[in-house]
Structure 1
Amino acid sequence: MRRIIFFLVPFLLLTGGCKKWLDVNKNIDAPDHIDGYLYLAGILQQYQGIYWDVRAVGPLTQMMGASGDYATYAGHNFIPGSDAAAEAWRIVYWNQGMNLENMINQSIAAEDWTLAGIGYAIKAFSWDLMTKLNVDAPMKQAFVAGLLAHDYDYQKDIYPQIREWAYKAIELLEKPDPHDYGAKISANDFIYGGNKAKWIKFAYAVIVRNLSSLSNKTNFAADYAQELITAAGKSFQSSDDDATLKIAGGSQQAPYAEFNNYWGTARGNLSWTYFQHEYAVQVLTGTVPEYDEATGNKTSLVGNPYYPYKLAAKQIITDTLSNVAGHYDPRMAVKLGTTSNPNFLNLGNADSVKAYKYYGGSFTGTAGPIGTAPSYYGRNNVSQFSGAVNDGIGRWIYRDNAPYILTTCAEIQFCLAEAYWKLGQTSQAFEAFKSGVKSDMDFTGKYIYPGTSGSPTGGDKLTTAVFNSLSALYLQGPFVAGVTDFSLSHIMMQKWVALYPWGAPEAWVDMRKYHYDIAYSGAYPAKGNGWTTAIISQKWDTDPAKVYKGLYLAPAQVQSRKGSYATKNEGAPCYRLRPRYNSEYMWNLKSLGALKPIPGTADNYHTSIPWFAYPGELPN
């Protein structure tokens, strides 16, 4: 080291010092300037973090059961002193964070309107995701340099800002842009390849999603519904518009494991730690049971181990009359895992596919009410990608090279249907509902990856042709085009199915705004009015006002739901995820503790109802 200094000093003296020759940057850790387009690829790849948070939100929506640490969220609690379930927070403030701010600001300065517009669309989407999960958050002071603490903004102020960013994105994307980007944007845009028209539709989709979460507020019809309807008309019109993030894949040969989808077999995240919840199986297979309203128990039947309980007379998605044309919903054979047909025989035979059996687990274990929930790949075993029997690269969107799903046309159409329903425009709601189911069928069939006949090495257990044939019948059947008792439940439960399981965050939004179908009086539930420290009172499925038929929370005192929440909950279900521990609880505790009505430092902060779920404004 002394020798290096010895030779460096005379060199600096001869050249007039280091300032002229060596200070190419003011930042000693990184370059001061990076061309805007170079940020784009890394910013978009951070959306894999959504699937990380689904580990917590999937169990909260009863889409998934979970073992290990994330079983805590199945019990509507949180893991103290941990960054678990804070990935959306991390995306907004760090992973995208200043990278996204720099991309937007530099692009505006350079009059690169296309890139700036894409940046604002991304920003709106990410903040919408984060505030729906974490609710209140620092916004105005988020990226103010030099601050050691950041004041929180309430969700009621964050929401309109999100829409403002989305409209700014549209304005910039519609602005004439004479710049020839060549492949600079298209090669780094893993969603739309630089297609401005699709990014504009995406920005409108963010507006729709944002407003849809307000649909149970008392002023929705007057203040938000028409804006939603207008935005939906300019947003996605078919599954070809879906926002999906392409990834490289490569399985074990990929240079980095992260080149593969988070849910693929190569990364081992789904494995058998997360599994389909019994409620998901009941909804998708039309086997929601009937509960005795006097005892809360199911009615046992004798003679059929697969249907050992009396089923509810009213099934919303499908029923068990699979041999009657239009009754079978083929999405169950794609979205759910099954141990049926382990050797992948007769994948092109509809009758064979319709005979598959499905089992769901409990909140925290694979053992369910009538059998064992398999892995999402379809075996009662942990994920394996080699050997005589294995899961290969996975299947459907649980596959190494499957894209990440951000939002779809189906979701937007169901948001539109709900808005029309709230306005009393039933016929328009029904048309949007049918369009939503059709779009989800298109989305679902698009990612089918059939296995190899006779080879137990992974893949989907049906062909695309069989799926399309069965879906055409279903769309014309009694659960879609032939619905005679159309209701809000049809809209919201079909939306839940369309979001399964990638869209668990938005499904959780819907469940919270309808307060988990808790039975309460007045404007919103509270301790002593919907729950006590021991039990939750929920609407029975026979109640026309109940939205999610068959949904009962863990302390609802029906069969297999006769538990209670942790004492920290004080009887309440979870309504928000906590912000990231290593930023807020370590460095911003005073600001977090100032939140109302429940401080962020309280043991039950995660039960604090979000602004979007209050019919009016926040209580004092």
Structure 2
Amino acid sequence: MKKLIYTIAALLTIGIASSCKKYIDINTNPNVPTSADASTLLPPIQAGMARGVWFDSRYVGQYSQTWGAATANNVWDQEGYAPGSDAAGEMWRTVYFSIGQNAVLMLNDALATKKYDYAGVTWAIRAWGWQNGGDLYDYMIVKQAYEVGRLSFDYDDPSYVYDEVVRNCQTALNYLNLAIKTDGIAGVSPTLAKGDYMYYGDRSKWIKFIYGILAQNALHRSNKSTFNADNVKKYVDSSFTSNADNASVEAAGTQSGDANFWGPTRANLPSYRQSDFIVRLLDGRIFTNSLTPSNTIDPRLPLLLAVSKDGVYRGVIPPLGDPNSADANTLIPPMAGAPTNNINAIPLKYIFNDNSRGVLMTYSELQFMKAEAMFKKGDKAGALTAYQNGVKQSLEFVSNPPIGKALSGTTKYISDAARDAYMAGPCVKQTAAALQLSDIMQQKFISLYVWGAFEAWADERRYQYDQNVFQGFTKPANYYPDNSGKPVYIIRPRYNSEYIWNVPALKLIGALNPDYHTKQPWFILP
């Protein structure tokens, strides 16, 4: 049997069917160019990156218990999947379509015209795609991904996917350093700025982003015998130095097509309810083991969550839905920022505005990666410093979220006094001796709220959903029937490419099994 993946897209993009030449000669058709300027290709690629995270976070966020459905027994809350659907397949589409051959064309133009910074950015974006794809799907098509004319695509071992991330990052660094050596511009390159809606041509920030990907890749191997905590530290220390370095993609917010996915115009939040897990983290009950919150309220809470009419913050425990839905005073309202949420409307706060940027990676996230690595190494003092910095920078990020063209906001929603009081309070460990792994991982979970569901789920899976590490995580009372009582660990490849056209390859990796999504991925195994 022949296998087909994205053949139509490949035909439209680069024209591979020589047998069709007598009908359409795409090499001379002005409406189907075989080359394009890199600056025109980069914006839609970056938009695709944000789109991939946004769309699939809806489902991954339910797996990670960032949020849940308002009604009981939602299939994703049960850690299941939607057969015959592309739901949770958007990142797959991002890797092979939004990036895919567009990255090939961008790289070709960059090398032909000696725009080496564009070449570096191309390889950086590929590395980012493989990292996210490997985390979500485990097996990916790498070696044959860009071979024009193929009708058969085989999956590569997940270890190869993770190694490809490192190779791509090194190539990206080589090209960016070559660009700097060639013209002496280490900061903003006018050429790169022409098409860059992420860092606006700042080569130094792209280099930091690449080191952030390397840090993530190294940390996700934490269960391997080859894990090196010092490498994580080294990469983090070479990466972001403030929230101004955060990786995010501009959203204009002028209409639905260019608006932030979590903003009111797109209206993607009304069907979701904040989780009980995030509520109890932010009101302090988990960190202090207190049955009733007192002076432990996180100043991020009113900016991130929605409050019921009676003034109490509540969250769903998947897959039970909202048990208070019949009582208007106690029902859990739509998530903060949802257009129907007239109970706790908070326009222009956090990342719920139409022109809030699509966040991909943050300084606080990286600090928590470093803290975890140092904790595992036994360097409790180093772990404490990174952990406290991660908490503080998360508070700053929520207080000054990126919006429009600004990489960090200008309006402070959390006062310095409130920030400092929380940092000195019982929810933040003050000594190395008191610091626990759960403190690091659960503060990291807060820092990833809404935008970082992929990383939150990767963390939970690396620790096998250990409730000693994620103390508020509650296993579903009833799993999806196909799970056979097992938790979810991976997402199935995209239905409309793989399960329609690439079935023989799927069979070889066991992806036709009903419980394939419960298979533990390579990156979490010893």
TM-score class, shorter-chain normalisation, is: 0.7 to 0.9
CA distances 1:522-546 after superposition (whole Å, capped 9, x unpaired): xxxxxxxxxxxxxxxxx5xxxxxx2
Separation in 1 of the partners of 2:26 and 2:90?
35
Contact 1:362 1:368 in 2 (8 A): no
**In structure 2, the residue corresponding to 1:275 is in which secondary structure?**
strand
Per the alignment, residue 230 of structure 1 pairs with 234
Taking a change above 3 Å as real, the CA distance of residues 448 and 593 of structure 1, as seen in their structure-2 partners, is closer
Contact 1:393 1:400 in 2 (8 A): no
Cα deviation, residue 435, structure 1: 1.1
Match of 1:38 among 34, 37, 40: 40
Match of 1:363 among 287, 308, 318: 318
Cα deviation, residue 183, structure 1: 4.7
**In structure 2, the residue corresponding to 1:328 is in which secondary structure?**
coil
Separation in 1 of the partners of 2:76 and 2:360?
22
| Alignment gaps of 5+ in structure 1 | 1-18, 289-311, 342-355, 450-462, 518-538, 540-545, 555-562, 616-620
Where do 1:378-457 residues align within 5 Å? 383-384=339-340, 391=345, 395-447=349-401
Cα deviation, residue 550, structure 1: 2.3
Contact 1:56 1:70 in 2 (8 A): no
What amino acid does structure 1 have at the position aligned with 2:68? G
Cα deviation, residue 216, structure 1: 2.6
Contact 1:265 1:392 in 2 (8 A): no
Higher Cα Rg: structure 1 or 2?
Answer: 1
**In structure 2, the residue corresponding to 1:399 is in which secondary structure?**
coil
Where do 1:100-119 residues align within 5 Å? 100-119=103-122
Where do 1:22-171 residues align within 5 Å? 25-26=27-28, 30-46=32-48, 47-66=50-69, 71-171=74-174
Separation in 2 of the partners of 1:204 and 1:177?
22
Cα deviation, residue 357, structure 1: 2.9
Match of 2:452 among 503, 509, 521: 503
Match of 1:321 among 281, 288, 294: 294
User: Are 2:475 and 1:553 aligned?
Assistant: yes
Taking a change above 3 Å as real, the CA distance of residues 72 and 428 of structure 1, as seen in their structure-2 partners, is same
CA distances 1:563-611 after superposition (whole Å, capped 9, x unpaired): 322331111111001111011001111011101xxx0111011011001
Q: Give the structure, 1 or 2, with the largest relative contact order (CA under 8 Å, sep 6 or more).
A: 2
Match of 2:419 among 465, 468, 471: 471
Q: TM-score, normalised on structure 1? A: 0.74
Cα deviation, residue 481, structure 1: 5.4
Taking a change above 3 Å as real, the CA distance of residues 157 and 375 of structure 1, as seen in their structure-2 partners, is same
Separation in 1 of the partners of 2:71 and 2:30?
42
Contact 2:317 2:474 in 1 (8 A): no
Per the alignment, residue 434 of structure 2 pairs with 485
Taking a change above 3 Å as real, the CA distance of residues 154 and 339 of structure 1, as seen in their structure-2 partners, is same
CA distances 1:481-500 after superposition (whole Å, capped 9, x unpaired): 52562111111111111111
User: Are 2:334 and 1:375 aligned?
Assistant: yes
What amino acid does structure 2 have at the position aligned with 1:480? V
Cα deviation, residue 206, structure 1: 0.4
Per the alignment, residue 580 of structure 1 pairs with 494
Taking a change above 3 Å as real, the CA distance of residues 367 and 189 of structure 1, as seen in their structure-2 partners, is farther
Percent of matched pairs sharing the same residue: 33
Per the alignment, residue 527 of structure 1 pairs with none
**In structure 2, the residue corresponding to 1:464 is in which secondary structure?**
coil
Taking a change above 3 Å as real, the CA distance of residues 162 and 191 of structure 1, as seen in their structure-2 partners, is same
Separation in 2 of the partners of 1:179 and 1:141?
36
User: Are 2:260 and 1:261 aligned?
Assistant: yes
Cα deviation, residue 144, structure 1: 0.8
Contact 2:72 2:322 in 1 (8 A): no
Per the alignment, residue 270 of structure 1 pairs with 269
Separation in 2 of the partners of 1:182 and 1:135?
36
**In structure 1, the residue corresponding to 2:182 is in which secondary structure?**
coil
User: Are 2:152 and 1:241 aligned?
Assistant: no
**In structure 1, the residue corresponding to 2:192 is in which secondary structure?**
coil
Separation in 1 of the partners of 2:402 and 2:97?
34
Cα deviation, residue 392, structure 1: 8.2
Per the alignment, residue 17 of structure 2 pairs with none
Separation in 1 of the partners of 2:456 and 2:41?
31
Per the alignment, residue 198 of structure 1 pairs with 205
Taking a change above 3 Å as real, the CA distance of residues 69 and 588 of structure 1, as seen in their structure-2 partners, is farther
Taking a change above 3 Å as real, the CA distance of residues 516 and 108 of structure 1, as seen in their structure-2 partners, is same
Separation in 1 of the partners of 2:70 and 2:53?
19
What amino acid does structure 1 have at the position aligned with 2:463? Y
CA distances 1:90-147 after superposition (whole Å, capped 9, x unpaired): 0000112100121123212322111111111111111111110111011101111111
Point out the more displaced range, 181-190 or 576-585: 181-190
Cα deviation, residue 62, structure 1: 0.8
Per the alignment, residue 7 of structure 2 pairs with none
Taking a change above 3 Å as real, the CA distance of residues 110 and 187 of structure 1, as seen in their structure-2 partners, is closer
CA distances 1:442-488 after superposition (whole Å, capped 9, x unpaired): 11101299xxxxxxxxxxxxx83654321121112333352562111
Cα deviation, residue 438, structure 1: 1.3
Taking a change above 3 Å as real, the CA distance of residues 384 and 374 of structure 1, as seen in their structure-2 partners, is closer
**In structure 2, the residue corresponding to 1:230 is in which secondary structure?**
helix
What amino acid does structure 2 have at the position aligned with 1:512? R
Separation in 2 of the partners of 1:409 and 1:91?
24
Contact 1:359 1:373 in 2 (8 A): yes
Where do 1:534-553 residues align within 5 Å? 546-553=468-475
Separation in 2 of the partners of 1:421 and 1:283?
21
